[in-house]
Amino acid sequence: MSVNIAETGPGTRVERASGPPAPGKKRTLSLRQRIWRERWSYTFIIPGAAFFLVFMYAPMAGNVVAFQDYSPFRGVEGSPWVGFANFTAIFNDPEIVTALRNTLIIAFLQLAFAFPAPIALALLLHSLLSEKVKRLVQTIVYLPNFLSWVIVISVWQQVVGGGGLVAGILDGFGMPGFDLMTDAENFKFLVVAQNIWKDAGWGTIIFFAAIAGIPSERYEAAAIDGASGWQRTWHVTLPALVPVATLLLILNIGSILTVGFEQLLLQQPMVGADAAQVLDTFVYFRGVLGGQWGIATAAGLLKGVIGTVLVLAANKFAKKMGGEGIF
């Protein structure tokens, strides 16, 4: 029986207990012997692997209904195949044009405002000198991330909705009728504002990790060279955040067609589909509620494929620009 050692880290495996000829001897074990030797390890792996196969990979096969005139009553076997008819139907559907436009506008606004927000917040908090204040503010700004969208939107409703806190105050100044939550025109900005409120604080955590990794000598050297506080931020702190920001940007680009599904689903009744229909809500309303399963699945599949292609492209681009990709 050979004894093997847990890896203590990538590439640092120590091979001691199995005796001097271990490296050569190991390779002579047949695959079957190696599997038998590790049979207990498979009791850990197989249940989890089965979970991922059933709940993450098997549903991929369900996407075949994108090529069918599917109905749950007939099932996959009984539904007629229609080729690319669902996809042609999508491209001729005015509603999906609205959904796509809304998705892209919201994604663009998120990228422009919600993406830099945690970076700005992290820099601001980093510039605070008192550790105590910093810790306290961090605790407060992290909190909204843990609230569900239902709670967040309910709270916003009570504050900036009709009859809410702000409406009450404005009413007192003779400006009645304030209701941000049903304002279709500014809805997309509302969505981004909610996103910043909920996630900007938590988003700083990864940038703090990057800032913590900057050796303090670098600031010291910059200060001795006469760099002001602003210059230190610009030339020392910001460059250290670029790799993390690039990574997040790549991931963001991959999910550009996925904008706050629950957030928009919950608010669509208040502002209407023209303002709040995005691709994901389109799939839900058309497919699950509307019964047009084939068309909705086709839209979902198209979205997924485009998202994957975008991630790969963004990753490649980041590498080409001399940065680091994610894989």
Could you say which of 73, 77, 83, 131 contacts other proteins (CB under 8 A)? Answer: 131
CA dist., res. 299 & res. 194, Å (int) = 27
Q: Which is nearer to other proteins, 104 or 265 (CB)?
A: 265
Q: Quote the least distance from Cβ 179 to other proteins, whole Å.
A: 14
Considering only residues 74 to 113 of the shown chain, the ones binding other proteins according to CB under 8 A are none
Of the chain, the end-to-end C-alpha distance in Å amounts to 37
If binding means CB under 8 A, how many residues of this protein chain bind other proteins? 108
260 binding other proteins? (CB under 8 A)? no
Single out the residue of 24, 73, 83, 224 in contact with other proteins (rule: CB under 8 A). Answer: 224
Torsion of CA 288, 192, 249, 321, to 10 degrees: 120
Interaction between residue 235 and other proteins (CB under 8 A): no
Question: Pick from 116, 307, 323, 325: which binds other proteins (CB under 8 A)?
Answer: 307
Exactly one of 67, 68, 107, 201 binds other proteins (CB under 8 A); that residue is: 201
Are the C-beta atoms of 96 and 87 separated by less than 8 Å?
no
Q: How far apart are CA 156 and CA 27, in angstroms?
A: 63
Q: State in angstroms the smallest separation of the CB of 55 from other proteins.
A: 5
User: Considering only CA atoms, which of 230, 198, 207 is closest in space to residue 122?
Assistant: 207
Dist CA 140 CA 168 (whole Å): 26
- Using CB under 8 A as the binding rule, whether residue 265 contacts other proteins is answered as yes
Distance of closest approach, residue 176 Cβ to other proteins, in angstroms? 12
CA angle 290, 295, 300 (to 5 degrees): 100
Least CB distance from residue 185 to other proteins, whole Å? Answer: 21
Residues between 143 and 172 that touch other proteins (CB under 8 A): 143-144, 146-151, 153-159, 163, 165, 168-169
Binding residue (CB under 8 A) for other proteins from 308, 309, 316, 324: 308
Output the smallest distance, CB 229 to other proteins, in A. 7
Query: 3-state SS string over 84-136?
Result: CHHHHHHHCCHHHHHHHHHHHHHHHHHHHHHCCHHHHHHHHHHCCCCHHHHHH
Tell me the two tokens of residue 205: 């955590």
